[in-house]
Amino acid sequence: MNTGMQQELDVVLCHCGSGLRRVRCCDADITAWPGAEAVDALDAQGQEAVRLFNEKKYAEAETLALKLLDLAPNLRPALRVLYEIRKAQKRGTAEEALAVRLAALPGAPAVRTAANLLLAQFYVGQGRYAQARPPAAEAVMAAPRDATAQHVLGVVLTETGALQAGEGHYRRALDALGRDDGVVLANLAWNLKLQGRLDEAAAIYDNALALRPDNRRGQGGYAQVEFARGNREKALRLLDDGLGRWPDDRTLRLLRAMADLALGDAAAVLARLSDAPEALMAAELCTRGQALARLGQPVEAVQHYSTAKRLQRERHGQQYQAEEFAAKAAACKAYFTAERLQPLPRAAAAPARQPVFLLGFARSGSSLLEQLLGQVPGFVAGDEFFPVAELNELVPALAGAAHGYPQALDHSLVGDGWALPARLRERYEDARERLGLARPGVQFVTDRSASNHWQLGLIKLLFPDAPVVHVLRHPLDVMLSNFGQDRRLEGNCGVSMSALARHYALVMSLIRHFRGQLALRYLPVRYEDLVNDTAASLRRVVEFAGADPGGVPPEAVLRANGAMPPGPVPAHFAGREAVHTRGVYRYRAYQSQMPGLFAEVRGILDPWIAELGYAEAGP
Amino acid sequence: MSGAQPGKQVVPLAEALARLSALEQANKLAEADDLANRMLAAMPEHPHILHLAGIIAYRNGRVAQAVERMEKSATLAPGVALYPRNMCEVYRGAGRLDDALRAGRRAVELAPQDARAYFNLALIHYERLELDEAVRVADQAIVLEPDFAEAHFEKAEALLLGGRMKEGWESYEWRFKLKQAEGMLPKTDKPQWDGRPLAPGKLLIVGDQGFGDCIQFGRLIPWAALLCPQPVLACSGELTAILRQISGIGKIVTRWEDTGDFEAYIPLSGLPRLAGITTQNVPPAGYLAPDPALVESWGARLDRLVPKGKRRVALVWAGRPTHKNDRKRTMRLEQFAPLFARDDLAILTVQKGEQIAQVGGYYGRAPLLNLGPEIVDFADTMAILQYVERLVTIDTSVAHIAGAIGVPTALVLPHAPDWRWLLGREDTPWYPSVRLFRQERAYDWRGVIERVSESI
């Protein structure tokens, strides 16, 4: 309706920093964008903006692009020019908004591939791998023979834990190239390393570094593979060689310091990471702190850890995702109740190999248990090679359900849905078999996935009789050990002691819920028992799993913890060491020197200390 | 009202006390608590406010606060009989039986014509296992109020617990006049069966009480069927699969409208009186048996789930929370620690209901399998019990199931148990496979589970 009044133009600029008006940028109504013919009419001017950009007349190019995008926010050449300018200016929010818009525009396959790759690589550069997955997948679908698209998707899948799928895309990238490529090969080798296929990884790294000797990351990755294979001298040679060529490379220096620490040379760590603490990165601070702790300086160690955590929070913006995980836990508890699960069908037939699910908050000792079980005939360490959590997103599709997981499990009650658990189990077993875990003679395969505590309901449906072994450790030792690590933990809970305690309570209460609602074949094992009386504790676990405890090696052999599995090697085997007891109730020494160290987490952890039976261990 | 602050409502004290009492009676306990606290803040030394506030604290589970408030009210008004009368019950809840006895006696002294004061005192004598005194004091209540059903029932329980079965059964008949018995019997003008023969299908037997009672007294159905062939049994749906096994029953119904044209009815719990049951002539157990198909399937499941080489012990630690004596009998899972410390045992919990959540907090050495979520009904429980060396249980229906099928059972009992377990003996004439482990002190489980563990 014409009111006779002049409407004011909305000239507010977009919050993303693109320089466009908000109604032409993030707040635009995309249904009101000009159609293809109108956009084509502006194409010549769009190409002019590109020309100006290519001639490095950036100010003119920017001005023209802004004008054109005010007319047609979907004019690809202008959008691309503005994107490149904002990227060069390091205006990340604008760069992301423009990249998302470019990737969403229609166009020829090659153009769409390029746009999606831009976006995927933007996310990869920020470590936001999960967000990178859709555009990387779009790029591959638009141009399946594009080696870069295949390579980027390989990176994304590898970093999000879909290792086998990632390997496939790396290999397709090499096929598309029609030749070996040093970078792709090095990334493939890293993927194989993560799959525990160390021998293959080493061979490929050899080739990759011959093609690209300047690949520092590859040099570091190769060293890690050799270290994990037990070729420690070779690993040190690779790192020292790398540091000789790139003396300022802090990643290589850190890897070398970590190797020093693993070899028991704490003093060397201090010498190597001798910068002023304020100049060190979080991972360096933690490694140096661990060295200080080894040298009997807990106060200085904790100072280093605290600084590292502060850096994680303040410099890298890491925050504990408390609300998100509290909501996830509440939803999980609401669905997985005895009443709801009781009528759901389960996979009936006995599995070819019995999975043994290991639970345990980070740094509780589940790695050690898996290493020890790996020494028992009939057992193989399956680590995190294919977590049950990978099946979650398959459930709605396989069940034909409109709901997401876990509600989609209800569809297993309908029609041929009864076969759903068996089908899911087949996926799990196939994936693990492809990794080479199903060797002759293997009867038990451990699954040490960090997400297992969320999956106990699904595990019960897929493997109704599977043993679930929960490694417990004094909660304050768990806190202390995690506090000294620069590891990415679930929900970013490692960013502070209080976040660790809150997440610990959340995970433990989730496990408690499942145990109360399910007939789980559950065994708690204490880390303290495992390291004090290793053979007896292991026999208990082996017997519980249904195997012959007579196969457990003697105490001395177990404590040496030197055996290397013939098949895929879990990453934690690289850091294995002889069984020791110095971590048992370590918190006491720290607490006596720093009485307030655990003050902020006592309220959360004291009930767990009591419930787990550690109250008798003393304050 | 002059003098009142703006916006502040002034209510006369009598009205406020009446409202407080009404809220408590109506089970609006949070509201009552709030009002009591406000009234106490205004008048902290008023004995009746203190007394009512004590009752409300007690009903909200704050026993110590209840005692403190009520003791104060009794000190402020030592001549009010109501105060020691109610304190008697609160002391009982606090496990302070000496104080309860003192208060009960004081109440009787202050109000010798108050039947309820005698009744409360009788309850304390029962708890103290002073059974003759319990009967005598209950009789005094009955003299004052001949239709006082609770007093008759209390007397029955004391007589039966003391083994005086014949007298006990007579008083036990008063149970249907209890407030909580409403709806247990059919609304009918037909008479209660007197033990005389009837034509086939003309006797209605009513599964009137808890599951345990029905299983316990179900053994007398064949005796009734000798006199009245093919009786109709009315019971809850959960029991039909089990009671169907008992010989002589014509049909089983779960709705009053399906009972057919009966000529007389009898509650299951009335059969012992008619049959003249004493401790010497209880019909033998073994009248139930698990379903062979279920036994086979549970056997295979348990072989997969339970670690090999362990001695299997089944466990039930909690009863139905609405049971009148649940506080006395129900335990916490952690109280069975002496069993959990044993490496040679595997614990199979056959607990049902919300209490199974306690399994989540179990971290003992003995592997524990929470079977509750997989158990559909008693038929499953019976099948599972075929595979255990022992059932350890509190006084709940599973104990009866196990006893009826002859499973070795350790039954842990409160100091003053339900009448059926009698006194001073480790065995029971009802179930030869059941061994009794009694509290040595009232409300104190210490030592009981240790003795159970030593017996396994």
Distance in Å, alpha carbon of A543 to nearest chain B alpha carbon: 7
- Give helix B149-161 / helix B131-144 axis angle, nearest 10°: 160
User: A66 at the B interface (CB within 8 A)?
Assistant: no
Chain B 372-401, residues with CB within 8 Å of chain A CB atoms: 372-374, 376
Nearest beta carbon to residue B370 from set A342, A465, A519: A519
Phi/psi for B124 (5° steps) reads: -65, -40
Q: Which residue of B has its CA nearest to A513?
A: B360
pLDDT on residue B7: 52
Q: In this structure, are strands A379-380 and A354-359 parallel, antiparallel, or unpaired?
A: unpaired
Q: What average pLDDT values come out for chain B (456 residues) when binned by 10 residues?
A: 50 84 87 89 88 90 90 89 89 89 91 92 93 94 92 94 91 82 75 91 87 91 94 90 89 88 90 91 90 94 90 92 75 92 93 90 92 91 96 95 95 94 94 95 90 94
Are residues A341 and B373, on separate chains, in Cβ contact within 8 Å?
A: yes
User: B362 at the A interface (CB within 8 A)?
Assistant: yes
User: B422 at the A interface (CB within 8 A)?
Assistant: no
Q: Indicate the DSSP class of residue A21.
A: B
Token readout for A364 is 């509780």
Token readout for A84 is 């490149």
Q: Which residue of A has its CA nearest to B367?
A: A523
CA B145 to CA B123: how far, in whole Å?
A: 17
Token readout for A13 is 């600029």
Are residues B373 and A519, on separate chains, in Cβ contact within 8 Å?
A: yes
Are residues B307 and A544, on separate chains, in Cβ contact within 8 Å?
A: yes
CA A331 to CA A325: how far, in whole Å?
A: 10
Q: Which residue of B has its CA nearest to A466?
A: B305
User: A453 at the B interface (CB within 8 A)?
Assistant: no
User: A536 at the B interface (CB within 8 A)?
Assistant: no
Neighbours of A505 (CB within 10 A): 16
User: A338 at the B interface (CB within 8 A)?
Assistant: yes
pLDDT on residue B1: 37
pTM score, whole prediction: 0.82
Are residues A515 and B370, on separate chains, in Cβ contact within 8 Å?
A: yes
CA A144 to CA A150: how far, in whole Å?
A: 7
pLDDT on residue A617: 62
Token readout for A499 is 């976040």
3-state class (DSSP) for residue A477: helix
Nearest beta carbon to residue B359 from set A350, A516, A613: A516
pLDDT on residue B10: 67
* Cis-peptide into B84, omega within 30 deg: no
CA A519 to CA A255: how far, in whole Å?
A: 44
Q: In the block, which residue shows the tokens 């100091």? A: B415
**Topology adopted by domain B292-455:** Rossmann fold (3.40.50)
Q: In the block, which residue shows the tokens 């005895």? A: A338
Nearest beta carbon to residue A465 from set B305, B360, B361: B305
User: B196 at the A interface (CB within 8 A)?
Assistant: no
Low-confidence ranges of chain A (pLDDT < 70): 1-7, 616-619
Which class would CATH give A325-583? Answer: alpha beta
Nearest beta carbon to residue B361 from set A518, A519, A611: A611
Q: Indicate the DSSP class of residue A389.
A: G
Nearest beta carbon to residue A523 from set B359, B367, B372: B367
Are residues B357 and A546, on separate chains, in Cβ contact within 8 Å?
A: no
- Give helix A129-142 / helix A109-125 axis angle, nearest 10°: 160
Share of chain A residues as helix, strand and coil, in percent rounded to the nearest 5: 65, 5, 30
Mutation for A interface: B312, B355, B370, B376, most A CBs within 10 A: B370
3-state class (DSSP) for residue A404: coil
Confirm if B431 and B404 have CB atoms less than 8 A apart.
Answer: yes
Mutation for A interface: B298, B302, B303, B305, most A CBs within 10 A: B305
User: B300 at the A interface (CB within 8 A)?
Assistant: no
pLDDT on residue A59: 94
Residues of A in contact with B372 (CB under 8 A): 338, 519
Chain B 247-286, residues with CB within 8 Å of chain A CB atoms: none
**Topology adopted by domain B13-176:** 1.25.40
Residues of B in contact with A546 (CB under 8 A): 307-308
Phi/psi for A381 (5° steps) reads: -85, 115
Q: In whole angstroms, how far apart are CA A492 and each of A367, A501, B326? A: 20, 12, 45
User: B309 at the A interface (CB within 8 A)?
Assistant: yes
* Residue B226 falls in which region: left (phi positive, over 0), alpha (psi -120 to 50) or beta: alpha
Q: In the block, which residue shows the tokens 């490095």? A: A56
pLDDT on residue B3: 42
CA B87 to CA A400: how far, in whole Å?
A: 63
Phi/psi for B245 (5° steps) reads: -70, -20
Are residues A338 and B307, on separate chains, in Cβ contact within 8 Å?
A: no
User: B299 at the A interface (CB within 8 A)?
Assistant: no
Q: In whole angstroms, how far apart are CA A6 and each of A1, A13, A22, B151? A: 12, 21, 20, 91
Are residues A523 and B304, on separate chains, in Cβ contact within 8 Å?
A: no
Burial B250-271 (b: 16+ CB within 10 A, else e): bebbeeeeebeebebbbbbbbb
Model confidence over A389-448: pLDDT tens digits?
989 988 998 888 888 899 999 998 988 888 999 999 999 999 888 888 888 889 999 999
Q: Where are the beta strands (DSSP E) in A310-384?
A: 354-359, 379-380
Nearest beta carbon to residue A519 from set B343, B371, B376: B371
Domains B13-176 and B292-455 share a fold: no
User: A356 at the B interface (CB within 8 A)?
Assistant: no
User: A23 at the B interface (CB within 8 A)?
Assistant: no
Residue length of chain A: 619
Residues of A in contact with B361 (CB under 8 A): 512, 611
Model confidence over B180-203: pLDDT tens digits?
666 677 778 888 899 999 999 999
Q: In the block, which residue shows the tokens 């408030």? A: B69
CA A581 to CA A257: how far, in whole Å?
A: 23
Q: Which residue of A has its CA nearest to B358?
A: A516
Closest CA to A123 of A109, A106, A138, A145: A138
Confirm if A137 and A173 have CB atoms less than 8 A apart.
Answer: no
User: A548 at the B interface (CB within 8 A)?
Assistant: no
Report the DSSP beta bridge partners of residue A379: A444
The runs of H, that is alpha helices, within A353-419 are 366-373, 394-399
Q: In the block, which residue shows the tokens 């028991």? A: A264
User: A124 at the B interface (CB within 8 A)?
Assistant: no
Residues of B in contact with A460 (CB under 8 A): none
Three state DSSP letters for chain B: CCCCCCCCCCCCHHHHHHHHHHHHHCCCHHHHHHHHHHHHHHCCCCHHHHHHHHHHHHHCCCHHHHHHHHHHHHHHCCCCCHHHHHHHHHHHHCCCHHHHHHHHHHHHHHCCCCHHHHHHHHHHHHHCCCHHHHHHHHHHHHHHCCCCHHHHHHHHHHHHHCCCHHHHHHHHHHHHHCHHHCCCCCCCCCCECCCCCCCCCCEEEECCCCHHHHHHHHHHHHHHHHHCCCCEEECCHHHHHHHCCCCCCCEEECCHHHCCCCCEEEEHHHHHHHHCCCCCCCCCCCCCCCCHHHHHHHHHHHHHHCCCCCEEEEEECCCCCCCCCHHHHCCCHHHHHHHHCCCCEEEEECCCCHHHHHHHHCCCCCCEEECHHHCCCHHHHHHHHCCCCEEEEECCHHHHHHHHHCCCEEEEECCCCCHHHCCCCCCCCCCCCEEEEECCECCECCCHHHHHHHHC
Confirm if A365 and A473 have CB atoms less than 8 A apart.
Answer: yes
Q: Which residue of B has its CA nearest to A340?
A: B373
Confirm if A166 and A137 have CB atoms less than 8 A apart.
Answer: no
CA A457 to CA A410: how far, in whole Å?
A: 13
Helices (H) and strands (E) in chain A, counts: 30, 5
Q: How large is the ipTM?
A: 0.77
Neighbours of A4 (CB within 10 A): 5
Chain B 313-352, residues with CB within 8 Å of chain A CB atoms: 343
Q: What is the count of residue pairs from A and B with beta carbons less than 8 Å apart?
A: 65
Q: Which residue of B has its CA nearest to A344?
A: B374
Token readout for B225 is 């069927």
Are residues B369 and A613, on separate chains, in Cβ contact within 8 Å?
A: no
pLDDT on residue B318: 87
- Domain spans, chain B: 13-176, 203-275, 292-455
